Amino acid sequence: MQTDKTRYWLLAAPALAVMIVFYIWPLVNIWAISMTEPALGFGNYVKMTESQAVQTSFVITFRVAALTTVICVLLGYICAYSITNVIRSARPLLIAMVLLPFWVSVLIRSFAWIVLLGRSGLVNDAMRDIGLIDAPMRLMHNEFGVVLAMVHVMLPFAVLPMMANMRGIDRAYTEAARGLGASEFTAFRMVYLPQTLPGVASGALLVFVLSLGFYITPALLGGGRVLMVSEYITYQIQEFLNWGLGTAISVALLVATALVLIVAARFVNLRSALLERS
C-alpha cells in the first residue's frame, strides 16, 4: 500500500511543484525585495507607515471594498431570493442574465461603464437631450463610478453562493411558521433569513477579498482620482521604479487580505466558501 501512496503523490506533485516554484516562491521574493531594496531592514515599512498618501490609499480601498460588499449582498440577496423562491417559469432567463456578466471580461464591462458614464457618455447625453441637466455631471473618475462598476463586476460572486445556499433550504420551516400565524415578512425575518446567513457570509467574504485587491475597474473608472492600493503599487513601480516601497505596500495588502480571511474564518466555513466552491 505504501507504494500506492507514492504513486498518488506522483500524480499530485507536478501541479504542486509548478505552483510552489513559479508562484509561491516569487511571492516570497516580493517580501525579500521589500526588506532589501534599497537597503537591508525595515526602511520601506517605516516609509510606508509615515506616508500620508499610502494611508489615504488604504482608507479608500477599505471604504470602496466595504461599500461594494454591502451593496452586493443586499442586491444579490434579493436576486438570489427571487430566483429561488419567487420566479418560476422565467427562472432560466433570470439565471442567464446573472451569469452573462460572469462570462464577459471585466475589461469589456468596465469599457461599457465608461461609455455610459463618461463626460460625453450615453447617460449624460440622454439627460441633456431631455433637458434634465445643462452641463454634464461627473459620473465617473470618482468613487461613485468606481463603486457602481465594481458592484456590477462583483455581484455574481455574491449571488451564486447565496443561491446555492437557498436551494438547500427546506421550505417546511417557513411554512410551519406561517401556519402558526406568523406574517409572511415575520416568517422570512425570523425563520428564513437566519438559515441563509452562511450563504450571505461566504458571498460577502468573496466580494470583499476580491475587491481589496481589485485593479482593472478602479484604474479605468477612477481616472487616477480614486487611487486604490493596487493602483498605488503600480504607480510606485512603473512611474518611480520604487520597488522597495511598492513591494512593502504589496506585503501590507497581502497581510490585510490574510487578516480578513483569518477573522472571517470565525464566521464562515472557509472550506466550503473557497475550496469546495462549485
Partner 1 sequence: MSAPKTAPETVPGGPASAFRIAMGTGGWLVAAFLALPILVVIPVSLTDTSYIGLPKDGLSLQHYESYFTSARWLGGTAASILVGLAVALISTVLGAAFSIGCWFLGNRAATIARWVLIVPILVPPVVQSLGFYRFWVTLGLIDTWTGVILAHTLLALPYVSISVFAALANLDPKLPQAARSLGASVWRTVWEVVVPAARPGMITGAVFAFIVSFDEIVSVLFITVRRVETLPKLIWEGIQDNIDPTIAVVATVLVLVTLVLAGAVAVRRT
Considering only residues 243 through 262, tell me which ones interact with partner 1, judged by CB under 8 A.
246-247, 250, 253-254, 257, 261
Using DSSP, how many helices (H) and how many strands (E) does the chain show?
A: 15, 0
| Cβ-proximal residues to 45 (8 Å cutoff; 6+ apart), any chain | 34, 248, 252
Ranges within 157-216 binding partner 1 (CB under 8 A) = 171, 174-175, 178, 184-185, 188, 209, 212-216
According to CB under 8 A, which one of 39, 42, 46, 111 is a site residue for partner 1?
Answer: 111
Interface with partner 1, residue 132, by CB under 8 A: no
Q: How many CB atoms lie within 10 A of CB 154?
A: 25
* Best CA proximity match to 250, nearest among 67, 54, 107: 54
Closest distance to partner 1 from the beta carbon of 10 (Å): 7
Ranges within 31-90 binding partner 1 (CB under 8 A) = 33, 75-76, 78-79, 81-83, 85-90
Smaller CB separation from partner 1, 30 or 43: 30
Q: How far apart are the first and last CA of the chain?
A: 32
According to CB under 8 A, which one of 2, 40, 181, 278 is a site residue for partner 1?
Answer: 278
Interface with partner 1, residue 275, by CB under 8 A: yes
* Total residues at interface with partner 1 (CB under 8 A): 98
Smaller CB separation from partner 1, 27 or 46: 27
How far CA 138 is from CA of 24, 77, 110, 123, 135, in Å, comes to: 42, 30, 16, 11, 9
Interface with partner 1, residue 4, by CB under 8 A: yes
109 by Cβ neighbours in 10 Å (0-12 / 13-18 / 19+) ranks as: middle
- Coil vs helix vs strand at 38: coil
Interface with partner 1, residue 141, by CB under 8 A: no
